[in-house]
Structure 1
């Protein structure tokens, strides 16, 4: 447990802030250890994760232990966690410059423990968010996040592309709106209703027409429970352009279904809804050749109809891997 009242901390007013800023905000643990070394007059400082096998050095500044063999080495152990691990702060100083009390070192270790845990948690959250956003991008799904005043907080790349096209949706005054007045009133009403009932409000679904391409965007207004809200985000708009077809990467299809390059190419094209004749024309091959490839594909996949092939591909993990291509329907 952190003790912010420890008297020894009063003589180092900016050190705690430096530990959190460099470790959490900048992701530079060594910079935090360097600040500690300069404050307490240490030649070397190391933060180690001990227990459950070989110790792991998380950060280190200063000469190696061998170079500091003649100096005073101190070890401060943190609390043992449920997984049997603990953090250890190792400092090496000359006897004359060693002014750090055991209480100060223990307090610094507590702050380092908190800062490292917070940095890891934020890094994991960022990774999960990036993976989720990447998967949605591959499925041609865009997401716009709004705050409680309906202002746009952030949006994914696909959403930015759809809105930047200015066909159906637009960004005006920091808010998202539909070009058509009637559809915009429906959109704003759905957003307002969702924000009014974040805990148990249902998702609302609507369509926004795109005058330029004479198609429509599907939009789900998704409530976000107050317990899950963060960074000012209060609700989300999930946007899907049904005319953007996603084709799985051919390399993934080859590996997943043991297809040849030609068979994987044909499978990828057919999964976008093209007929066999259209696929033959796009690949510049005869219909008989395409049919021969299709029979081989059916045999390898254990199916006997093209509709089954499309369903098999679209529900497979091939749609989620890197290499997925997005095309606009003709």
Structure 2
């Protein structure tokens, strides 16, 4: 079979250094391997859950991986793909036969034809099996990178096993620095993007996380502010939301599904209850101290990988403290929702304090009067809870 001479190795190394950090750069790298060896090569990234990513050729590479492993069913019960992802030695050339026999201890690949369970050659006529080699090149907490070659112009009887194994080992050594450069650049791009996002929201405590709730970064007090609301806890590097409203807001941001503005009836007809940016959604919750906190969820752009594929979505959570509302908001409430002066006054102060007891004391009214005002406020604005009312008033005030 063809082998890589020194000139071929240099050509391939130059191609790796030139293309590995470019968008779609791995396509010409693998094309050169295929040309030099007359094979079909692939690189495939497999996530921890067994799903392929869209890097390095995506579904096409995954199809070649399946072709490589379709007859590999080890007797020991361990799935061949799972073994390659978790226990297989990096850079070692595994073949179908070693995987079939469960020879996971570094035995030399034989590339021989698969045999039946009793150890005798299969007597049933079948198509010649295409030999191939596969090896894990990189393993992280989140995924494993597998590199493989299918030697399409050979059969298990005609291929030179020693030469194929030696050539494959050379390939893995040549590809390794390019793969490191690829992921190093991705890490740098991600870190730069994280810093840009957090710098843009330095005016309030903020937390940036991935779709699986892993914290990527925060402003100086971001995570403490989020946890102090009582609606979330930290488990390792991930945030676990205990509040269903917060969980719903996060999911809406991840799915990019935003509810249209709510129409409510006013004395002048119909008006929108929300003026918020449709890219964000928010919720008000009461912290354990009884203070009202506003959490604004927004999907933000994650870096585009060198393969040109968008990464998983990121979500930015901003935690805004309650602030003094302008008195003008009372006039807006009266005009838009036909609230009386007393009702608008109560709505504003209740939103600022977050506490009915504090509001009653501050306004010098009875609790029954306050309840009557609040019931009418709910009827006229179309909201159903104090938190929804606070969200409405803050949006009308342009605070988020």
Please confirm whether the aligned pair reaches a TM-score higher than 0.5, indicating the same fold: no
Q: TM-score, normalised by structure 2?
A: 0.34
Query: Which structure's CA Rg is the greater one?
Result: 2
Q: Which has the higher strand share?
A: 1
